[in-house]
């Protein structure tokens, strides 16, 4: 994660000892000033070289400038390091999620995935920016100050640290509580984000069914759970800072009580300490609790990050990606074959049972049957959205699991009933990053009967609203067909492409589909009777089993399930 910021990491690490040394010098210089030129001036003695008041002041100013310069370099380097690491982590999570198969998305809410890639990654970014390296710096400051304090006076150091066990106990207790509530924060945030995303995606359904107030109340309850977890976590975080400040004040009080008594002893007494040394110790104690307090604050940050990391690693460990092969031919004929296919989504109930089908290049295979008979599952297995049985599904004689994912996506185009459009230009929504030329895209749109839309939007640079809100349902369906025409695959899967359009729009869709089918192998999952009449083969499925196969006339003559579906659906033109 930090390869691109290695130089800044080195700079931040090198700045640490410099910053620590400059910080250590400041209380020591104050003590030197008190015991040297200030004490001499009070006694009426001349200043002794080299520690004149001007020299000490200049040295103190230099130490402050060095400390702040080194701190600035360290903070900038750590921020550079953290943001680059954050960028890499977010890309890794995003790439991992997009590489998963259909089973992965069946069991996870979109809002939860969104929470993983935003708030959870941000929490980890806090640690990358200031956490780990900052802890090393704080630990270095604490160790260096303790070493200097012991070297100056071990007994004063011992008195100063009488309350150290209290500090350790408080930090340990608060750390455990922060870890617990940080996990609660992440879980409740994910639940609230998921609910919000689903409510926004189904806003029209919520409005049509009059559930606005109920939805608001449910979202409010989820947010209160998040707020309660965050409130308790903040209480522990703030209390930790307050306890650290209180302990620091107690340590200074102990030091004044004990060190002040020793400072009043006669100068020749072996237990006596100078006022300058006592002031320097007070300065060291006050500075000592700065990294201790920062360290305790970073504990809260790290606990939040650890809770987030658990969720991120849980996401990254959940690898349900469909394996990709290496077969990537230069030319695809389009021969599709299914041999004794068995498939189950949950590993228990089979949705396809011993299904065998074959469709040659340029032919049309229609899949019909009652709802839930397994029609769309065949399409999903052919396109490798789910991993099917080994060697059971072949394209041009090669099992689809041996095809590279990219080559298979180029070879097979899919037109779905539920069309997903993205906020952006018409060009971006049709091309989808394939690199088609503008003339190709314009021709694809016109062949898909979208010439009027192209003109209405002012050309390929015309922008679509979110989710294609500026287009009708039929126009969105036609745009999905334009995508296929622009991609020019050898095999086309039409998954109920006309199921949700009216009769007038269906005529346009059928016209566009005719252009799609020219010279291509097609697997058509259809409810509309008009869609399947011209198919070379019609496969009739029921309860995941192939019960009939033939063309329209042959199946009508048999008088079986297909004939029943046709008879029952002729009045509405549907086959279910």
Consecutive 10-residue averages of pLDDT for the chain (576 residues): 65 84 88 82 70 85 91 81 78 83 76 72 70 73 87 86 79 75 77 76 71 84 87 82 80 86 79 84 82 68 72 80 87 91 86 91 88 87 88 92 90 84 85 87 88 87 77 84 89 74 67 81 78 84 91 88 78 55
Identify the three-state secondary structure at position 263.
Answer: helix
Q: Are 226 and 188 in contact (CB under 8 A)?
A: yes
Distance CA 516, CA 525 (A): 15
Max Cα-Cα span within the chain: 126
CA–CA separation, 473 and 455 (whole Å): 18
d(CA 323, CA 5): 33
Place of tokens 């049985």: 389
pTM of the model as a whole:
0.65
Task: State the Cα–Cα distance between residues 524 and 514, nearest whole angstrom.
Answer: 12
* 463-464 and 491-495 strand pairing: unpaired
Tell me the C-alpha distance between 395 and 489, whole Å: 13
Task: Read off the tokens for 260.
Answer: 């002040």
* Confidence (pLDDT) at 111: 66
Task: Please spell the DSSP secondary structure of 46-104, one letter per residue.
Answer: PPPSS--HHHHHHHHHHHHHHHHHHHHHHHHHHHHHHHHHHHHHHHHHHHHHHT--HHH
Residue 539 parent element (H or E): strand 537-542
Q: Please work out, in degrees rounded to the nearest 5, the angle formed at the alpha carbon of residue 224 by the alpha carbons of 220 and 229.
A: 155
Measure the CA–CA gap between 26 and 142, rounded to whole angstroms. Answer: 15
Between CA 196 and CA 462 the distance in angstroms is 30
Alpha-helical runs (H) found in 99-153: 102-106, 110-115, 121-126, 132-152
The β-bridge relationship of strands 398-399 and 412-416 is unpaired
406: three-class secondary structure by DSSP: helix
Domains annotated for the chain, with CATH where assigned, are: 3-317 (1.20.1560.10), 336-569 (3.40.50.300)
d(CA 443, CA 217): 50
| Sequential DSSP letters for 166-208 | HHHHHHHHHHHHHHHHHHHHHHHHHHHHHHHHHHHHTHHHHHH
pLDDT of 65 reads 94
* Rounded Cα gap, residues 502 and 510, in angstroms: 12
pLDDT at 4: 55
Check the CA dihedral 322-324-325-327 and report its sign. Answer: positive
Nearest in space to 148 (alpha carbons), one of 287, 318, 298: 287
- Comparing CA positions, the residue from 496, 476, 493 lying closest to residue 430 is 476
Q: Are 457 and 426 in contact (CB under 8 A)?
A: yes
Question: β-pairing, 393-395 with 398-399?
Answer: antiparallel
Q: Which residues contact 210 (CB under 8 A, 6 or more apart)?
A: none
Helix axes 275-317, 6-33, angle to 10 degrees: 160
Backbone angles phi, psi at 419, to 5 degrees: -90, 130
d(CA 495, CA 524): 6
Beta bridge pairs of residue 492 = 413, 522
- CA-based R_g, the chain, Å: 36
Environment class of 137 (CB within 10 Å of its CB; exposed 0-12, middle 13-18, buried 19+): buried
The token pair at 474 is 């039929």
Q: Which SS3 state, helix, strand or coil, does residue 563 take? A: helix
* Dist CA 87 CA 80 (whole Å): 11
Query: CB of 154 within 8 A of CB of 146?
Result: no
d(CA 489, CA 553): 30
Answer positive or negative: Cα dihedral of 74, 76, 79, 85.
negative
Nearest to 576 by CA among 526, 501, 537, 534: 526
Helix ranges (H only) for 436-560 are 438-447, 451-456, 473-487, 503-517, 529-532, 552-558
Contacts of 553 (CB under 8 A, 6+ apart): none
Helices H / strands E in the chain, number of each: 22, 12
The span from the CA of 456 to the CA of 450, in Å, is 10
């Amino acid at each position: 994660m930090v390869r691109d910021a290695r130089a800044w990491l080195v700079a931040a690490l090198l700045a640490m000892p410099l910053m620590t040394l400059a910080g250590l010098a400041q209380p020591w210089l104050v003590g030197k000033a008190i015991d040297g030129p200030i004490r001499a001036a009070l006694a009426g003695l001349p200043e002794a070289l080299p520690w004149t008041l001007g020299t000490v002041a200049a040295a103190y100013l230099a130490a402050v400038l060095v400390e702040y310069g080194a701190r600035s370099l360290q903070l900038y380097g750590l921020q550079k390091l953290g943001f680059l690491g954050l960028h890499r982590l977010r890309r890794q999570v995003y790439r991992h999620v997009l590489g998963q198969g259909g089973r992965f998305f069946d069991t996870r809410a979109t809002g939860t995935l969104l929470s993983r890639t935003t708030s959870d990654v941000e929490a980890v970014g806090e640690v990358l920016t200031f956490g780990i390296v900052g802890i090393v710096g704080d630990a270095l400051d604490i160790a260096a100050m303790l070493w200097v304090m012991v070297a100056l006076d071990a007994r004063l150091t011992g008195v100063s640290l009488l309350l150290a066990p209290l500090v350790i106990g408080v930090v340990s207790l608060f750390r455990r509580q922060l870890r617990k509530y940080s996990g609660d924060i992440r879980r409740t945030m994910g639940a609230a984000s998921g609910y919000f995303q689903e409510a926004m995606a189904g806003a029209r359904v919520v409005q049509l069914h009059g559930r606005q107030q109920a939805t608001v109340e449910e979202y409010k309850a989820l947010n209160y759970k998040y707020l309660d977890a965050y409130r308790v976590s903040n209480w522990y975080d703030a209390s930790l800072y307050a306890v650290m400040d209180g302990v620091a004040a107690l340590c200074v009080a102990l030091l004044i009580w004990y060190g002040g008594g020793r400072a009043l002893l006669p100068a020749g007494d072996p237990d006596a300490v100078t006022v300058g040394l006592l002031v320097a110790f007070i300065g060291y104690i006050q500075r000592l609790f700065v990294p201790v307090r920062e360290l305790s604050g970073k504990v809260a940050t790290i606990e939040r990050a650890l809770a987030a990391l658990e969720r991120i690693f849980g996401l990254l460990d959940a690898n349900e990606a469909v394996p990709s092969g290496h077969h990537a031919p230069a030319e695809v004929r389009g021969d599709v074959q299914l041999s004794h296919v068995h498939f189950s989504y949950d590993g228990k109930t089979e949705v396809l049972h011993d299904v065998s089908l074959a469709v040659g290049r340029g032919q049309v295979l229609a899949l019909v049957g009652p709802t839930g008979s397994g029609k769309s599952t065949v399409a999903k297995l052919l396109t490798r959205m789910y991993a099917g049985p080994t060697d059971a599904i072949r394209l041009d004689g090669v099992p689809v699991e041996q095809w590279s994912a990219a080559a298979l996506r180029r070879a097979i185009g899919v037109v779905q009933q539920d069309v997903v459009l993205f906020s952006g230009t018409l060009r971006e929504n049709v091309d989808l990053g394939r690199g088609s030329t503008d003339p190709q895209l314009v021709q694809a749109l016109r062949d898909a009967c979208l010439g009027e839309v192209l003109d209405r939007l002012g050309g390929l640079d015309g922008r679509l609203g979110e989710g294609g809100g500026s287009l009708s349902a039929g126009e969105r369906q036609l745009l999905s067909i334009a995508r296929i025409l622009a991609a020019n695959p050898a095999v086309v899967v039409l998954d109920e492409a006309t199921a949700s359009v009216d009769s007038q729009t269906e005529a346009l869709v059928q016209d566009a589909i005719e252009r799609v089918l020219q010279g291509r192998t097609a697997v058509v999952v259809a409810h509309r009777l008009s869609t399947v009449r011209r198919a070379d083969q019609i496969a009739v499925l029921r309860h995941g089993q192939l019960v009939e196969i033939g063309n329209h006339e042959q199946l009508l003559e048999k008088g079986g399930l297909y004939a029943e579906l046709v008879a029952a659906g002729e009045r509405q033109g549907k086959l279910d």
